[in-house]
Structure 1
Amino acid sequence: MHKFLFAFVFSILLSLEMAAQRSVLIFHETEDYRHASIENGIQAIQQMGDENNFKTLVSQDSNFFIENDLSSLDLIIFLNTEGDILDMEEQMAFQNYMDNGGNFFGIHAAADTEHDWSWYGDLVGAYFNGHPEIQEAELNIKMPQHMTVEHLPEPWKRVDEWYNYKEISRGLNIFMTLDESTYEGGENGDFHPIAWFQNYRGGGKSVYTGLGHTSESYSEPNFLKHLSRCIEFAMMD
């Protein structure tokens, strides 16, 4: 009797845990240039899912957006996507997902995606506008109490490919900026955002980090913690 009761309770708890498990899409389609670090990024995020109780789905096929129920997803990650990758029907499905409370997290080249779709540019917060060679730079932490960056040193020195941006949206909540005096090739001047978030009108969040070009990034503890916490933050109510 006790064994039956224990098994019954365990089954109920397991069912509740499975029902509560969040679901995250790692989308990584590219049109022309493809980052060598994408596979490293997928593996890193999958490990985060194992450690933080979220299920990961992985796709590099934009048909996913019309062949699946996006409402079941707690977050869609654009991992180093690049180019014009969504057709009009897929765009409509993604926008509908966001309009109904969905969440978005763009990593690095997500800002070099869908340049001709103004809605997407507004969602990300800025478009890519070139970059200098990979080099070390200093990042300034603008929201030091925020969970996505509170673990980072001030300033944070690291090596990556540093994007310049055009059409930076107003009203972004800036996590970090780049100090252009610490590297060569910056074109945004004294105010060079590199990671931020905004609350989307549908009720969800849009989070973006410009970090994550290099394969080495995805084994770097500070960056991985930043990435993991951006994912967690994006899914918070």
Structure 2
Amino acid sequence: MVVLAAASASAAVPMAASPAPERDGPGARVLVFTATRGWRHDSIGQAVETLRGLAGEAGLRFAHTEDPARFTAAELARYRAVVFANTTGDVLDEAQQAALQQFVRAGGGFMGVHSAADTEHGWPWYGELVGAWFESHPPGLQTARVRFVDPPGAADGTWRVTDEFYNFKRDPRDRVRLIATLASGDYEGGTMGVDHPIAWCREFDGGRSWYTGLGHAPGLYADPVFRAHLARGLRYAAGADDDC
């Protein structure tokens, strides 16, 4: 099991003063980041367009980039939330990592989709931010029931998803608020127990973090339940809703 400590990790990244994120008023912004340094998901285009639409519905101005040079203190201060949508690998250098850390510590929000958990494996603070790192997944797409933990009975526990289901390097449930779990008996290759965590959230290091392990399959972004799931995460990360 990987045990990470945000306090010790932060000492490895030099800190500098950071402007506070824009939190209020019309035109609040979210930045969707989709850089990859490894596997590139076919669903990135669908993720971007879905998040663009959901941001508009939430009254948020939307920006999308694959350029890590956008990760500076001054640039990130323009946003309420940063979304890592199917990022992979080491996408930020040390200065860019410091800017993201400062952004969160100043009250900014983070939202991770699917392979956001397969990103920055060498940066302990990021591992704490996302909640748990990807370890493996069963081959191919499989179908399983998803149970929303809170509110109990959301979608009546009958929402069935066909996607790629991640196993994580640790079970995050002792340090996060679980949002949804998989019925792992519905598919083969799960290693997280019968009630497999797949989405969670929490306040973290001065900001907010929300993550879903779903989002591999392009067709999933047309599912109204998944869209509602992402909308909730986007609103929480952007500070528009205190309840994730």
Give me the TM-score of the superposition, normalised by structure 1.
0.86
Pairwise CA distance, 1:107:
0.3
Q: Does 1:50 align with 2:56?
A: yes
Q: Which residue of 2 aligns with 1:7?
A: none
Pairwise CA distance, 1:21:
2.2
CA distance in structure 2 between the aligned counterparts of 1:29 and 1:67, rounded to whole angstroms: 19
1:67-146 matches, within 5 Å, as 68-132=74-138, 133-144=140-151
Specify the SS of the correspondent of 1:20: coil
Q: Which residue of 2 aligns with 1:163?
A: 166
Contact 2:73–2:99, Cα closer than 8 Å, also in 1: no
CA distance in structure 2 between the aligned counterparts of 1:40 and 1:182, rounded to whole angstroms: 26
Contact 2:171–2:192, Cα closer than 8 Å, also in 1: no
Pairwise CA distance, 1:136:
0.5
Pairwise CA distance, 1:106:
0.3
Pairwise CA distance, 1:68:
4.6
Q: What letter is aligned with 2:164?
A: E
Matching residue within 24, 34, 59 for 2:65: 59
Q: Which residue of 1 aligns with 2:227?
A: 224
Unaligned ranges ≥5, structure 1:
1-17
Give me the TM-score of the superposition, normalised by structure 2.
0.84
Contact 2:73–2:103, Cα closer than 8 Å, also in 1: no
Q: Which residue of 2 aligns with 1:207?
A: 210
Identity %: 38
Unaligned ranges ≥5, structure 2:
1-23
Q: Which range is displaced more, 129-138 or 102-111? A: 129-138
Contact 2:55–2:234, Cα closer than 8 Å, also in 1: no
Identify if the C-alpha distance between structure 1 residues 67 and 103 changes in structure 2 by more than 3 Å, giving closer, same or farther.
closer
1:177-192 matches, within 5 Å, as 177-192=181-196
RMSD: 1.7
Contact 1:137–1:179, Cα closer than 8 Å, also in 2: yes
Specify the SS of the correspondent of 1:136: strand
Pairwise CA distance, 1:225:
1.0
Pairwise CA distance, 1:139:
1.6
Who wins on radius of gyration, i.e. which is larger?
Answer: 1
Q: Which residue of 1 aligns with 2:15?
A: none
For 1:35-84, what per-residue CA distance to the aligned partner results, in whole angstroms no more than 9, with x for missing partners?
01101111111111222211011101111102852122111000000001
Higher helix content, 1 or 2: 1
Pairwise CA distance, 1:180:
1.2
